[in-house]
């Protein structure tokens, strides 16, 4: 079955452009002109990926992603003319898997879409295998429940986004190993040649903020990247 993508943007020309390239890749598409319509469509139908604009009338993309993610686990690629560090950090914090700024290359956008869908397929397969396990990783009061895809801090559930969970799990599985940003991009996002090193730094910053007193488990390795230490 071909992947189904929801394109959300209030600029008709951008919607047509993305639709044309997405259909060339063999994807099925649906469109929404604002966040409210996107939330409504996601309540009725299942999608494999959402390309979500940020600045829209009625309901902005950030609010729409929060509402959708509260009900369904759908990967989201944010698309916006706003490219400041704050905007990208906020996009990741609400649960975006990737953030692309306008103007954008349609070919690169499709490459990122392909990577997210591929990563999602791998995650689904891994989760299916994990249901047969009872694996947990425990580092003092920090506990990662692999089958449940959840993290607890001193017995309290941590409110991590899916990407923050994937990042923490990847680092913890490689405990004691200094990982470059490229390795982390490839391991968590699946990016290769067009990955953005700053994506890693932004997500690490957000993740550390949610780990509280256990933030120091994630060490910065100068000139290399990051390392998880027990």
Q: What is the CATH number of the domain that holds 53?
A: 3.40.50.2300
Same domain? For 95 and 38 the reply is yes
- Angle (nearest 5°) at CA 182 between 142 and 18: 105
The answer for residues whose C-beta is within 8 angstroms of residue 159's C-beta and 6 or more apart is 210
Please say if the pLDDT value at position 96 is more than 90: no
Cβ-based neighbours of 146, under 8 Å, separated by 6 or more:
130, 133, 135, 136, 137, 169
pLDDT tens digits, residue range 104-163? 999 999 998 988 888 777 655 555 555 444 488 999 899 999 888 889 999 999 988 888
pLDDT score for 196: 65
Residues 194-227: tens digit of each pLDDT: 556 678 888 899 999 999 999 999 999 998 999 9
CB within 8 Å of 1: residues ≥ 6 apart: none
Phi and psi dihedrals of 51, rounded to 5? -100, 110
Report the pLDDT value the prediction gives residue 115, as an integer from 0 to 100. 84
The pTM score is 0.70
Q: Which range of residues forms the domain containing residue 11?
A: 4-126
Q: Residue 221 pairs with which residues in a beta bridge?
A: 225
The domain boundary, picked from 75, 102, 126, lies at 126
For residue 169, the number of C-alpha atoms closer than 13 Å in the C-beta half-sphere is 24
- Quick: pLDDT tens for 17-73: 999 999 999 999 999 999 999 999 999 999 999 999 998 888 999 999 999 988 888
* pLDDT confidence of residue 8: 96
Angle between helix 85-93 and 197-211 (nearest 10): 60
Which residue, of 126, 157, 177, is where some domain finishes? 126
Please, where are the H alpha helices in the chain? Answer: 12-24, 35-44, 61-69, 85-93, 106-130, 162-173, 181-184, 197-211
- Shared domain for 116 and 18, answered yes or no, is yes
One domain for residues 50 and 70: yes
Same domain, 57 and 144: no
Determine the distance from the C-alpha atom of residue 227 to the mean position of all C-alpha atoms in its chain, rounded to a whole number: 21
Instruction: Output the CA torsion 91→147→49→99 (10° steps).
Output: 20
- Domain tally for the chain? 2
């Amino acid at each position: 079955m071909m992947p189904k993508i929801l394109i959300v943007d209030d600029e008709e020309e951008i919607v047509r452009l993305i639709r044309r390239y997405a259909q060339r890749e063999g994807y099925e598409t649906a469109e929404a002109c604002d966040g409210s319509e996107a939330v409504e469509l996601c309540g009725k139908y299942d999608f494999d990926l959402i390309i979500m604009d940020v600045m829209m009338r009625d309901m902005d993309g950030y609010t729409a992603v929060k509402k959708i993610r509260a009900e369904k686990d759908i990967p989201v690629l944010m698309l916006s003319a706003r490219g400041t560090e704050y905007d990208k950090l906020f996009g990741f914090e609400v649960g975006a898997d990737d953030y692309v700024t306008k103007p954008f290359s349609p070919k690169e956008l499709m490459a990122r879409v392909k990577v997210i869908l591929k990563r999602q397929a791998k995650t689904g397969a891994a989760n299916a295998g994990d249901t047969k396990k009872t694996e947990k990783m425990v580092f003092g009061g920090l506990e990662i429940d692999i089958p449940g895809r959840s993290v607890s801090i001193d017995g309290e559930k941590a409110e991590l986004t899916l990407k923050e969970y994937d990042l923490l799990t990847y680092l913890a599985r490689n405990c004691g190993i200094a990982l470059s940003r490229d390795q982390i991009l490839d391991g968590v996002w699946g990016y290769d040649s067009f990955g953005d090193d700053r994506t890693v730094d932004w997500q690490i910053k957000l993740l550390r903020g949610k780990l509280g007193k256990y933030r120091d488990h994630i060490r910065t390795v100068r000139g290399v990247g990051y390392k998880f230490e027990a």
